[in-house]
Amino acid sequence: MSLLIVDGVVKKFGGLRAVDGVSLTLDRGEVLAIVGPNGSGKTTLLNVINGVYKPEEGRVILEGRDITKLPPYLRARLGISRAFQVPRPLPDSTVLDNVATGAIFGGGYDIHSAKEAAEEALSYVGLWEKRHQLAGALAFSELRLLELARALASRPKLLLLDEVMAGLSPSEIDRFVVLIRRIAEEKNIAALSLVEHRMRAVVKMADRALVMHQGKKIMEGPPGVVLNDPKVVEIYLGRPWRF
């Protein structure tokens, strides 16, 4: 059985079907990239998966359990963690305390266990040496790593990545791609990553790519196949992807 099953999800805002009958599956250790232009429904779908929105139709199933009606904090306790596009650290707290706070509220750990989990996550993403610095002093790319460490500290089964590479340089993106692959393979965590324009990252990072347009899933499969599909090229990329 797949770790995550999204079955025919529909989310409406008034007369707009922001997510229109989308289904997907995701297994442990697998990376799925959801791509599409701004307004295609990617973030709304992510919000349905982690419980910010409840769908009008369809189901979200985690490890065989229907979690469609559960609030975000209960989904977090079941193993869903999210790294947001815009990091919102506690700037006057240390890097370690920021990540430990995420473990307490996201994973339900006590203070001692949360600090252990935070130290492990910071070491994994490469921020160990800065654990005692104030979070407000971190560079932009380091704040991205801090957000990822905070999500990892709750020791999730499913990691939702909301445009975590936006605004990074090509070399920084390469570092994130390697890190996300390591997380999936070494920790056996499923990762679902939203990507808008970084097709090179999709090809290197993802096992599968799913393309959304106007709320619908229009294509899913290996990244190299998907990014050269005529329909995807026509409505999204403008030209075939060159490897």
Confidence (pTM)? 0.92
Question: In angstroms, rounded to a whole number, what is the distance separating the alpha carbons of residues 203 and 8?
Answer: 26
pLDDT of residue 232: 86
pLDDT of residue 38: 85
Count CB-CB contacts under 10 A for residue 42.
26
* Kind and range of the H or E run holding 60: strand 57-62
pLDDT of residue 85: 82
Question: In angstroms, rounded to a whole number, what is the distance separating the alpha carbons of residues 95 and 173?
Answer: 22
Question: In angstroms, rounded to a whole number, what is the distance separating the alpha carbons of residues 127 and 129?
Answer: 6
pLDDT of residue 242: 61
pLDDT of residue 200: 82
Question: In angstroms, rounded to a whole number, what is the distance separating the alpha carbons of residues 135 and 86?
Answer: 14
Question: In angstroms, rounded to a whole number, what is the distance separating the alpha carbons of residues 238 and 124?
Answer: 38
pLDDT of residue 107: 76
Question: In angstroms, rounded to a whole number, what is the distance separating the alpha carbons of residues 208 and 192?
Answer: 10
Q: Which residues contact 110 (CB under 8 A, 6 or more apart)?
A: 104
pLDDT < 70 positions in the chain = 196, 238-243
Count of all residues that appear for the chain in the document:
243
Kindly state the tokens that stand for 23. Answer: 């289904």
pLDDT of residue 74: 93
Question: In angstroms, rounded to a whole number, what is the distance separating the alpha carbons of residues 191 and 196?
Answer: 16
